[in-house]
Amino acid sequence: MLLNSKSIYLLFISGFCVLSLGSSEFHLINMTKSYADAKSYCREIHTDLATIHNFSEMNELINLVSDNTARAWIGLEIADKRTWHWSLPAHPLDFTNWKEGTPQGNDQDACAAMDENGKWFENDCNTKRSFVCHSDGGSHIYVADSESWRNAQNYCRSLSTDLVSILSAEENAVVSNMSQNVWVGLFKDPWKWSDGSNSSFRYWANYQPNYLEGQDCVTAIFKNSGKWNDVKCPGKKKFICQGANKELTTLQTTTQGSTKVTYLSTRYNITSEGIIVTFHFTLDKNSTNVSSTAGPTTEGTSASSSTSQPVTLAPHSNAPGNLVLIQQNLTWVEAIAYCRRNYIDLIHISTEDIQMKVAEKVKNATTPHVWIGLKYTCGSKIWFWTESSSGCYQNWAPQQGHEGTYSCGVTGAIQATGRQQWVGLPQSEKLNFLCYACTG
C-alpha cells in the first residue's frame, strides 16, 4: 500500500545538536541533562549510556569528543555493595587463592597483592610495591619499581597490557615464582555500569573517586584527557550514549470535532546531522483536512509543544525542480537529513515523467541502488513518501512494494541500472542518494 497526499501529513521537526562520534556505538549528545534523565534519553533513543570496556574505546572518545566539551556523563554509577574485579575486563573471577582471613568483607575500596607463598591478601591501594603485568602468552612481565596499585596499572597499560590476571593454579605458581609481595590486577570497588555490563575498566583522575556525599555518578573530563570523576547525579551535563539509533513508532488517536483521527508517528534521532525527524500521517482516509498542532520537540521527546508554531509541509507540485545526485554513501536516515539540510528533501516520484528524469540522473551513481524518499512502516505494513505527493504512480520491481514481505527498518531505493525500478532495502545500508532543490 502506498499512501498519497489525501492520507499523509508530514511534520519535519528539528532543533537539537546531536553529534555522532564516528562510531556505530558512541554518540555525544549536546544537550544537558541530569544523570537519570540522560540515562532515560539514551535508553529511548539508542541503547544506554556509554559503557567503556577497554583503553582503546576510551581513546576513541578522547580523540573524537570536541575540546569544547569539558565533561560528559558516562554510564558508571554507584552500586549497593563493593565487588572484586580483575583489571582486565574480559577475565572472570573464577579462580581465587586468598590467604586465610581474607578478603575481609569490609565496605572499602581495596586492591590485592600476592605474598611469598603465592597467597592473595587485601591491601590499601596506595601502598607501594613491585608488580606484574599480564601477557596472554603466559610470559608475564615483572616490574621491580615500587608503585601504588593504580600507578602500577597505568604502567602496564602504557605497555598495551594491564596488571596480571590469575585464572588458574598453574598461572598462580608462575606469578609466585617471579617475586614476592607484588601487586596483581584484582581490585574491589562499588561501581556498576548502567547497561549491566561486567566491564571492570576504570580510568579515574588523580585522587578520584573521592566518594563525597551524593557523588554517585561519573563523568568523563575531556579537558583532562577524558579521566573520570565521581559527581552528584542531579547536575546537568552533556552525555554519551551507545548503540544504534532506534526507530520509534507510535499510534495516536485524537478527536477533531466529532471525528476521531488516528495518526502514525515515526521518529528518528539523526545523530550524523544533529536533528530529530518526526513523520506524522493519518491512517484515516476520510480525514483529508487534518492540520498539525505539534511543534518542534524539546529535550528529545516526541510530545507536542505549545510554545512553538506548527511546521507543516504542504504537498509540492509534480515538478521536482533540480535533481542533485549525492555520490556519498550514507544510510537512508543520514541521507534524508543531508537533503533537508542542504536542499529540500530526498526525491519522491509521483509521475512517470519524474521517474524518467530520476532514472537518467541515477545512471551516474557509484552504488547499485540510490536512496529515494520512500519509507516502510512495519506496524501498518504500508509504504509512504516522506513528503506528501499527489498521484498514485508506482514503479516497483517484481516482488517488491505491496508484493514484498519486509521486516522493520526498510526504506526505498531505485536501481541505478537495468529497468531502474524501486526496491526495499535495510535503511542501515550506505548508498548514494538523490535530493531535489528548488529550480533556480
* Backbone torsion region of residue 401, taken as left when φ is above 0, otherwise alpha when ψ lies between -120 and 50, otherwise beta: left
DSSP 283: S
Q: 257 is written with which cell numbers?
A: 470535532
DSSP 397: P
Predicted confidence at residue 15, as pLDDT, reads 29
- Out of 241-255, 335-349, 397-411, the most confident range is 335-349
Instruction: Output phi, psi for 157, to 5 deg.
Output: -65, -30
Q: Where are the domains of the chain?
A: 1-24+245-294+319-440, 27-79+203-242, 81-190
In whole angstroms, what is the distance from residue 20 CA to residue 422 CA? 30
In whole angstroms, what is the distance from residue 435 CA to residue 106 CA? 64
Residues 6+ apart with CB under 8 A from 13: 276, 277, 278, 294, 295, 296, 297, 311
249 neighbors 379 (Cβ within 8 angstroms): yes
Of 168-177, 190-199, 252-261, least confident by mean pLDDT is: 252-261
Of 241-245, 312-316, 377-381, least confident by mean pLDDT is: 312-316
In this predicted model, which residue has the larger pLDDT, 85 or 386?
85
Element (H, E) at 178: helix 169-178
Spatial CA neighbour of 16 closest among 343, 247, 337: 337
Spatial CA neighbour of 154 closest among 118, 206, 91: 206
Instruction: Output phi, psi for 133, to 5 deg.
Output: -95, 150
H-state helical runs in 251-323: none
Predicted confidence at residue 431, as pLDDT, reads 93
Predicted confidence at residue 267, as pLDDT, reads 55
Q: 265 is written with which cell numbers?
A: 508517528
Of 191-195, 269-273, 367-371, least confident by mean pLDDT is: 269-273
In whole angstroms, what is the distance from residue 123 CA to residue 103 CA? 9
Predicted confidence at residue 250, as pLDDT, reads 54
Domains 1-24+245-294+319-440 and 27-79+203-242 share a fold: yes
Mean pLDDT of the region 158-163: 82
Mean pLDDT of the region 70-76: 93
Predicted confidence at residue 30, as pLDDT, reads 83
Residue 358: band (very low, low, confident or very high) from pLDDT cuts 50, 70, 90: very high
**CATH architecture for segment(s) 27-79+203-242:** Roll (3.10)
Element (H, E) at 44: helix 35-45
Q: Which residues pair with 231 in a beta bridge?
A: 217
Give exposure, 273-288, as e/b (b: 16+ Cβ within 10 Å).
bbbbbbbbbbbeeebe
Residue 274: band (very low, low, confident or very high) from pLDDT cuts 50, 70, 90: very low
Question: What single letter denotes the amino acid at residue 104?
Answer: Q
Looking only at the bridges linking them, the beta strands covering 382-385 and 369-377 are antiparallel
Looking only at the bridges linking them, the beta strands covering 71-86 and 247-256 are unpaired
Predicted confidence at residue 129, as pLDDT, reads 93
Q: 335 is written with which cell numbers?
A: 541521507
Percent of the chain with pLDDT over 90: 28
Is the pLDDT score of 38 beyond 90?
Answer: yes
- How distant, in Å, are the alpha carbons of 144, 167, 176, 271 from that of 152? 11, 20, 17, 39
- How distant, in Å, are the alpha carbons of 144, 377, 415 from that of 325? 63, 26, 13
Spatial CA neighbour of 250 closest among 308, 287, 301: 301
pLDDT averaged over the chain? 76
In whole angstroms, what is the distance from residue 24 CA to residue 428 CA? 11
Is the pLDDT score of 218 beyond 60?
Answer: yes
Is the pLDDT score of 27 beyond 60?
Answer: yes
Q: 72 is written with which cell numbers?
A: 560528559
Q: 157 is written with which cell numbers?
A: 597499560
- Say whether 292 sits in a helix, a strand or coil: coil
Predicted confidence at residue 265, as pLDDT, reads 54
Spatial CA neighbour of 429 closest among 368, 382, 380, 339: 368
- How distant, in Å, are the alpha carbons of 184, 316, 331, 333 from that of 326? 55, 22, 12, 14
- How distant, in Å, are the alpha carbons of 76, 187, 316 from that of 110? 19, 6, 67
Is the pLDDT score of 433 beyond 90?
Answer: yes
Predicted confidence at residue 229, as pLDDT, reads 94
Is the pLDDT score of 131 beyond 90?
Answer: yes
Spatial CA neighbour of 121 closest among 142, 145, 96, 146: 96
In whole angstroms, what is the distance from residue 111 CA to residue 120 CA? 10
Domain boundaries 1-24+245-294+319-440, CATH class:
alpha beta
In this predicted model, which residue has the larger pLDDT, 258 or 348?
348
In whole angstroms, what is the distance from residue 89 CA to residue 87 CA? 6
In whole angstroms, what is the distance from residue 257 CA to residue 254 CA? 10
Strands (E) across 34-169 are located at 48-49, 71-86, 110-114, 120-123, 129-133, 141-147
Residue 146: band (very low, low, confident or very high) from pLDDT cuts 50, 70, 90: very high
Q: Which residues pair with 242 in a beta bridge?
A: 26, 48
Residue 44: band (very low, low, confident or very high) from pLDDT cuts 50, 70, 90: confident
